[in-house]
Amino acid sequence: MRRGAGVVSALGISAGCIVHTLACAFGLTAILAASVPAFMVVKIAGASINASTD
């Protein structure tokens, strides 16, 4: 396998990861903006994790 093929593969995988991460972030943002109870669950979960690490 040529070095160029490996580099192209790595760039393709990295680009795919970035696209999926952004899609997830924007999707989660839309869900939390539309649903007050979902936002409260995330807030409470974050506060409990923060409190347990102190």
Is the pLDDT at 1 greater than 70? The verdict is: no
| Helix, strand or coil, per DSSP, at residue 53 | coil
- Whole-structure pTM value: 0.57
The predicted structure's pLDDT at residue 14: 96
Q: Do residues 38 and 32 lie in contact, with contact meaning Cβ atoms separated by under 8 Å?
A: yes
Euclidean distance between CA atoms 54 and 29, whole angstroms: 28
Residues 31, 7: Cα–Cα separation, whole Å: 36
**Exposure pattern of 9-31 as b/e (b: 16+ CB <10 Å)?**
eeeeeeeeeeeeeeeeeeeeeee
pLDDT (tens digit per residue) in 23-52: 999 998 898 899 999 899 989 988 888 777
Confidence of residue 15 (pLDDT cuts 50, 70, 90): very high
